[in-house]
Amino acid sequence: MRIAGAGRTDAGVHATGQVISFRAASALDGQALGRGVNALLPEDIAVGAVEQADERFHARFSATSRTYEYRVRNAPARAPLERLRELHLPGTLDVAAMREAAQHLLGRHDFAAFAAGESGERTVRRVGLAQDGAVVRFEIEADAFLRGMVRGIMGTLLWVGRGKIGPGRFGEILAEQDRSLAGPSAAAKGLCLVAVEYGESGYRGHGASDPEDLHAEGE
């Protein structure tokens, strides 16, 4: 059986809202098929739901948007139980400056400055950045993403948070479309694909955050 995923992730990146599509000649309903597959999967992956789709549906090409979240634990002490889901940074971050810089991402741009490979234009529909106790969460929704794009963005936002560059310089780096000017890619473990949308009848991953909690801004 061949399966198609809504998106690919780098090694070490997580997904709580991944979607796959496949064709199957089975008499089992979705609930029974999901139980059977989960019985065979390793412990680090599970099927949340199985639904019958239109013949034309494709997990990747039918998607209208994807949402990623990046988590940073900004505290002197690390959290061992969250070590695989968060980047630990003990130094103080200027979250307000990071939030201001992130607004430059909204709209349609060539994100070559943050991509690990080919350049290309993408439309960012929403960004949000908030701090909940020691955890800083960055969320971004776009029609599609370039390879390594979110990790490149986050690495450069961390430059802003540490005071290495200002929010205005972040916007200039985006416009200059030169990867060598941006920050290093943030660690893969802090990144998670949380939602994939398919228009009005879409699917949204269970790990997606409430946009209002992230001070979301739209186009």
Write the pLDDT tens digit of every residue in 148-167. Answer: 999 999 999 999 999 999 99
Q: How does pLDDT run across 19-54, given as a tens digit for each residue?
A: 999 988 888 888 888 899 999 999 999 999 888 888
- Average the pLDDT over 109-118 and give the result: 93
Q: Is 71 helix (H, G, I), strand (E, B) or coil?
A: strand
Q: What percent of the chain has pLDDT over 70?
A: 91
Active site residues: 10
Q: Is 195 helix (H, G, I), strand (E, B) or coil?
A: strand
pTM reported for the whole predicted model: 0.87
State the pLDDT confidence band at 104, using cuts at 50, 70 and 90.
very high
CA distance linking residue 74 with residue 179, whole number of Å: 26
Cβ(192)–Cβ(16) under 8 Å? Answer: yes
Quote the pLDDT of residue 200. Answer: 63
Q: Does the pLDDT at position 218 exceed 80?
A: no
CATH class of this structure's domain 65-214: alpha beta
Cβ(151)–Cβ(10) under 8 Å? Answer: yes
Question: Domain spans of the chain?
Answer: 65-214
Quote the pLDDT of residue 199. Answer: 82
